[in-house]
Structures are given as structure tokens and as C-alpha cells.
Amino acid sequence: MRAEIICVGSELLLGDITDSNTRYLALRLSQLGIDLHYSTTVGDNRARLVDCLSRALGRSHIVLTTGGLGPTDDDITREAIADLFGESATVDETLARALREFFALRGIAMTSNNLKQASLIPSARAVPNARGTAPGWWVTREGRSVIAMPGPPGEMQHMWENEIEPRLQRSDSVIRSRTLKLFNISESLVDNLLKPITPSRNPTVAVYAKQDGIHVRITAKAANDAGALEAIEPVESDVRRALGEFIWGSDNDTQESVVAALLTSRGTTLAIAEAVTAGHLTSLLAAAPGSESFLRGTLITPRLDGASANEEDCVAMARHALQQFGADMGLAVVGCAVEGTDEPMNEIVVAVVGPSKERVTTGVYRSRPHRVRTLGAYYGLHELRRALSSD
């Protein structure tokens, strides 16, 4: 089964906004085993949109559109679909009533323009939009479908997950993947270590450099979930054998969620001293579930990044934070630029202290100045996780 995406909106072609809908839909389709050969962006122009729709329907089984369902004259997706199928849209009384109630409830005046959003052609079925005023359209003709969804990602994703995906005729195969996440190892080293042990076709193994480290993604295509997971399993074991010491999580794990789960399960409280990371580490960790129960406080002294970054000072800072906030553990991250190299290098020192023990490490990273805050934050979380895991 083949699908195709058409994103509608002149704002996308003026560079006003970045399109995130294509990536979202591409990922969902690939997980369903539905092939995606093209995605097209077109402006708010009825003739050009009809042209795109017609070509798409000629080569794909499912045509998904996003955008152009608003109440203004610029919104032309409904009109273009009506043109495509040679039908006329009329106001649907059930949809119009729902729309009037929506506006009355909010005490907002409804304009006649809004009635556009209650219109349908005879072949279209309205798709409920729980997050906005524009229902989607679903038109099926001779086994092929055009499905029109709203442009705002929150509305579109909610509609896709609740109204569209559950009703799509399943493909005869599924694609599943497992992502292993690593830190403190380079992308090229991962690549070299994996090359001899990974198959080339199914499953495939891909390596990505991300802000929180290196991600290794194993992807399998099979007749069903069980088959895909069975194909992934031996490859995952091989990768874990080769790179286990660098792996800190998988799939939806983040470094902060892994550390937060460890602190929560142990009932350990934490105090932080940040120099080079200037609040970025605390900000990340505070967004993790349960952080209010273990985060005792943070002291940021931005001026410390400058001069020196020695291990002794770093341990002293961690211990000072632990005492000031009365926590079980103290974490400190300091750093400085390394002099005398051609490329920008940063030295980052991390100390983790408990009441009776301490651990301090220094890492040297190639990075531009603005990246050092992010890098330092992940390095700090990495060392904290190692300290917690080795207890």
C-alpha cells in the first residue's frame, strides 16, 4: 500500500514556519508498513492544489492532506477536493449545530465564514476534530482515499491517532524499531565496531549523532509485531555485547528520565552546583517525572567557567551544595576552554559526592562555545547515572 502527503499553506513556502507534520506522518506510516514515496508542499492556490491532488491520487492509494481547513478565504483544501471529485459542497446541519454550540459556549460571535467549516460534499465523511473547529474530510472512491486533516500539529496528531489510523486498512507488513542510546563514544567508533556484526538488509542498523549521545537504531520489517521483534532481538544482543558499557537507555528513555527513575527508586535527594552549564542541567532534570521529590536545590555560579576547572574545586563545590541544601548527594559541573588547540575544545569536570564517598572525572570535548552548556549537562547526568548504578 502506498500513501502520499500534501501539505497546504503559503506560510510554508514563505519560510514562516517549519513543517513538522510530514515527519510525524512519515514515521506513523512507516510503523504501519505503508510506503511513502512523495510528500509535496503547495501554497493556498486552488488550481495548483487540484493538480497535486489529481497526480497523487493517480499513483497512491491514500492521499493525506494537512492544512487549508480554516474559516478564511485563503483556506481552499475543501474546495480543491470538491473540484477533484466534481462535486459541490453544502452546509451539513449536524456539523453547523456543533459549530454554533462551540462558539456559544465560549461567548464568541460566529461569523458566516465559519460555516465553511461545516460543509461537506456528498462523497465525504466528516472526521471529528476534538482540538479545534475544523472537522477533517475522508473521501473514498474506487478503493482510493483522500483524507484531509487540519494543519496545526496538535489538532492533526490527535485526529490521526484517534480517528484515522485506527480505521486505515492495515498493510500486510509492519515496521518496528529499537533504539539503543550511548554516551561518551564517537559516531565513527560506533560505526566501526558495529560494521562486522550487523546485517545489511533486514533488520537494518543506523547510527545517529544526537545532543544526548549516539543513537543506534535497529529496524525490522515483518508480517506482524512478533515477527519484527523476533528479528530485532539477536541483533540487539550483538550490539549490547559490543557496546554495552556505553549504553545508558533505549527507545523513549532520556538521560534525565533514567537518572530521575534511579533517584526516585532509591529515595535519594540531590543538590547541584552548576558553573559551565548555567542552569541547563537543573532545567533538564526538573522536567523529568518525580523531580520535585528529589531535587533539593541548585547553586549557579556562572563566573567559575572562566579561569580554571580543577577537580579539587569541583568536589568542593559539590560538597558545598550538598551541605547548603541538606541533600544526600551533591553533583557539580565546571568547565573551561582548552588553550592552544586549533579546534575549539572544552574541558568539563564532573564531581559526584555522597556523605562518605566521592567520584570526579574530567572529559575533553570538541565543541563550539554555545554547545558546551548542553554537552556539560549531559556529561553531568551521565556521571551521576554511573555513580548511582555503581552503588
Amino acid at 362: T
Cα gap 164→167, rounded to integer Å: 5
Q: CB of 107: closest distance to its own copies in angstroms? A: 13
Under rule CB under 8 A, residue 18 binds its own copies:
yes
User: Which is nearer to its own copies, 119 or 294 (by Cβ)?
Assistant: 294
User: Which is nearer to its own copies, 20 or 211 (by Cβ)?
Assistant: 20
Under rule CB under 8 A, residue 45 binds its own copies:
yes
Site for its own copies in 239-278 (CB under 8 A): 272, 274, 277-278
Q: What is the DSSP string of 188-220?
A: HHHHHHHGGG--SSSSEEEEEEETTEEEEEEEE
Q: Which stretch binds its own copies (CB under 8 A): 6-14, 71-79, 89-97, 351-359?
A: 6-14
Under rule CB under 8 A, residue 208 binds its own copies:
yes
Question: At 188, is the secondary structure helix, strand, or coil?
Answer: helix
Kindly state the helix (H) or strand (E) to which residue 63 belongs, with its residue range. strand 62-66
User: Which is nearer to its own copies, 200 or 356 (by Cβ)?
Assistant: 200
Under rule CB under 8 A, residue 343 binds its own copies:
no
Largest distance between two CA atoms of the chain? 79
**Number of residues this chain uses to bind its own copies (CB under 8 A):** 59
Q: How far is CA 265 from the centre of its chain?
A: 26
Q: Is 89 exposed, middle or buried (0-12, 13-18, 19+ CB in 10 A)?
A: middle
Q: CB of 282: closest distance to its own copies in angstroms? A: 4
Inter-residue contact 217 to 177 (CB < 8 Å) = yes
Of these, 1, 30, 115, 144, which contacts its own copies (CB under 8 A)? 30
Cell numbers for 318, please give them. 559539590
Under rule CB under 8 A, residue 39 binds its own copies:
yes
Q: CB of 201: closest distance to its own copies in angstroms? A: 13
Of these, 15, 143, 166, 267, which contacts its own copies (CB under 8 A)? 15
In sequence order, which residues have a C-beta less than 8 Å from that of residue 45 and are 6 or more positions away? 10, 76
Q: Is 270 exposed, middle or buried (0-12, 13-18, 19+ CB in 10 A)?
A: buried
Cα gap 283→275, rounded to integer Å: 14
Inter-residue contact 376 to 333 (CB < 8 Å) = yes
Under rule CB under 8 A, residue 163 binds its own copies:
no
Cα gap 189→197, rounded to integer Å: 14
Binding mask 216-235 for its own copies (x = CB under 8 A): -x------------------
Of these, 41, 66, 129, 198, which contacts its own copies (CB under 8 A)? 41
Under rule CB under 8 A, residue 22 binds its own copies:
yes
In sequence order, which residues have a C-beta less than 8 Å from that of residue 31 and are 6 or more positions away? 174, 175, 176
User: Which is nearer to its own copies, 280 or 382 (by Cβ)?
Assistant: 280
Q: CB of 25: closest distance to its own copies in angstroms? A: 8
Under rule CB under 8 A, residue 20 binds its own copies:
yes
Cα gap 253→349, rounded to integer Å: 25
Q: CB of 120: closest distance to its own copies in angstroms? A: 28
User: Terminal CA-to-CA distance of the chain, rounded, Å?
Assistant: 52
Gyration radius from the chain CA atoms: 27
User: Which is nearer to its own copies, 105 or 142 (by Cβ)?
Assistant: 105
Under rule CB under 8 A, residue 28 binds its own copies:
yes
Q: CB of 368: closest distance to its own copies in angstroms? A: 11
Of these, 46, 48, 359, 386, which contacts its own copies (CB under 8 A)? 48
Of these, 8, 9, 12, 348, which contacts its own copies (CB under 8 A)? 12
Cα gap 275→303, rounded to integer Å: 7
Binding mask 279-318 for its own copies (x = CB under 8 A): xxxxx--xx---xx--xxxxxxxxx-xx------------
- Which has the closest alpha carbon to 221: 167, 164, 171? 171
Residues interacting with its own copies, by CB under 8 A?
Answer: 12-20, 22-30, 36-43, 45, 48, 52, 206, 208, 217, 272, 274, 277-283, 286-287, 291-292, 295-303, 305-306, 325, 370, 373
